[in-house]
Structure 1
Amino acid sequence: MHEETADGTETDAAGDDADGDETTDLADRVAEYDADLGSAVADLQAQVDTLESELADAEERADDLESKLKRKQADFQNYKKRAKKREEEIKERATEDFVTRLVSVRDDLVRALDQDEDVDIRDGVESTLETFDRVLEDENVTPIEPDAGTEVDPMRHQVMMRVESDQPEGTVVDVYRPGYEMAGAVIQEAQVTVSEGQ
């Protein structure tokens, strides 16, 4: 439908109505036909607006949490690297301290060997062994030297051979080489001979 304006030009009245309809609120348009339905549509529009707002807030919170999580993960990775580096430094220092004490024991042995051949070095070697044992004790290392007649412990003793003996069968006769344990963990089994009985 065309209408003529005051200056003689024609306009599209239907087009104007369509534009007006597009800009008119949906609820108002529905209310023109059915007031109850228009009210329901208005309520639904309000709910949609609320939900869209809540969704936007939730997405913003999720983005914020994801950003915080990434920062925490990066912080944790950095912490692990620092902790590992500290652990390596502590280990190096601990080893350095231990080696320093061993070197002093070695120096004592060298001095004992530097004595004249006719000098009895037994006292010096025994003193050095005592020093060495103290170093091991400081490191929580204790010898495994089972007495004769002790039951064989496969976790702490390595059987080298079985021999006839007055000791009960299956017990230690002699220690061929002592073992060692550190903080309760066996680091070297004692090598022993075991009785076969008489």
Structure 2
Amino acid sequence: MSEEADAGHDDPEDATDAAGDTAAADARQESTERDGDDVTETALADEVARYDDALAAEVAALEREAVESTERVEELESSLRRTKADFQNYKKRAKKRQEQEKARATESLVSRLTEVRDNLVRALDQEEDVDIRPGVESTLETFDRILAEENVEVIDPESGQEVDPERHEVMMRVDSEQPEGTIADVYKQGYEMADKVIEAAQVTVSDGE
């Protein structure tokens, strides 16, 4: 057989080798692809794991914040209850102290008024023919002194003075030499304490005739 004829025919062994190389190449490619898929899946799994860890950490942080917030709310509510209780106790103490001060003030006033009463009793104990006017005048001075100590002033307007509706109570209009509409006479004295009228003075007013 000629060389040309030999060249026209492939060697079966070469074909077998070529097929084997192709199969090996395909196997390597498939292996590479599988390796690539494995790497991708591993990376994805790692990413999911990191996300889960981050999410778990965030959830844990939120749970801690929730616990701290609950504890803070309970602390504030407890503080508010204590503050309310302290305020109620303060109101009770203030009211009791005010009542005690009022009682002491009343007690002090009464103890001084008894002095006036004792003087009046002594004046009445005098003989019937004895002039008790000096004793009554002395008692009145004592009484006026006590009123002054309590910041009480007598409202005793003068004739001809203008009428003050807040301090004077007009009883009637009378003939008088005083100008019309002014005070003619004081029927009863009034009293004021710390610029507050306790009892208005009762007066008559001139009609100008």
TM-score of the pair, normalised by structure 2: 0.75
Residue matched to 1:111:
122
Q: Distance in 2 between matches of 1:78 and 1:31?
A: 70
Residue matched to 1:85:
96
Q: Distance in 1 between matches of 2:132 and 2:43?
A: 120
Q: Distance in 1 between matches of 2:130 and 2:164?
A: 43
Larger proportion of helix: 2
Q: Where do residues 1-198 of structure 1 align in structure 2 (5 Å cutoff)?
A: 33=44, 35-36=46-47, 38-198=49-209
Q: Does the 8 A contact of 1:173 with 1:192 survive in 2? A: yes
The DSSP-based 3-state class of the residue aligned with 2:140 is: helix
Q: Distance in 2 between matches of 1:93 and 1:34?
A: 87
Q: Any runs of at least 4 consecutive aligned residues in structure 1 with deviations exceeding 4 A, and if so which? A: 30-38
> What code does the residue aligned with 2:114 have?
V
1:145 deviates by 0.7
Q: Do the aligned partners of residues 143 and 31 (structure 1) sit closer, same or farther apart at CA in structure 2, a change above 3 Å counting? A: farther
The DSSP-based 3-state class of the residue aligned with 1:197 is: coil
Gaps of 5+ in 1: 1-29
Deviation by residue 1:28-49 (Cα, 9 ceiling, x = unmatched) = xx98746555544433332222
Deviation by residue 1:150-175 (Cα, 9 ceiling, x = unmatched) = 11111111000011222122111111
1:147 deviates by 0.9
> What code does the residue aligned with 1:112 have?
A
Q: Distance in 2 between matches of 1:146 and 1:131?
A: 22
1:106 deviates by 0.5
Q: Distance in 1 between matches of 2:50 and 2:208?
A: 106
The DSSP-based 3-state class of the residue aligned with 2:207 is: strand
The DSSP-based 3-state class of the residue aligned with 2:165 is: coil
Deviation by residue 1:11-70 (Cα, 9 ceiling, x = unmatched) = xxxxxxxxxxxxxxxxxxx98746555544433332222121111111101101111211
Q: Distance in 1 between matches of 2:146 and 2:42?
A: 97
> What code does the residue aligned with 1:120 have?
D
Q: Does the 8 A contact of 1:31 with 1:39 survive in 2? A: no
Residue matched to 1:19:
none
Gaps of 5+ in 2: 1-40
Moved more, 77-86 or 90-99: 77-86
TM-score of the pair, normalised by structure 1: 0.79
Q: Do the aligned partners of residues 45 and 114 (structure 1) sit closer, same or farther apart at CA in structure 2, a change above 3 Å counting? A: same
Residue matched to 1:17:
none
Larger proportion of strand: 1
Q: Do the aligned partners of residues 47 and 166 (structure 1) sit closer, same or farther apart at CA in structure 2, a change above 3 Å counting? A: same
Percent identity of paired positions between Structure 1 and Structure 2: 61
Q: CA RMSD in A?
A: 1.8
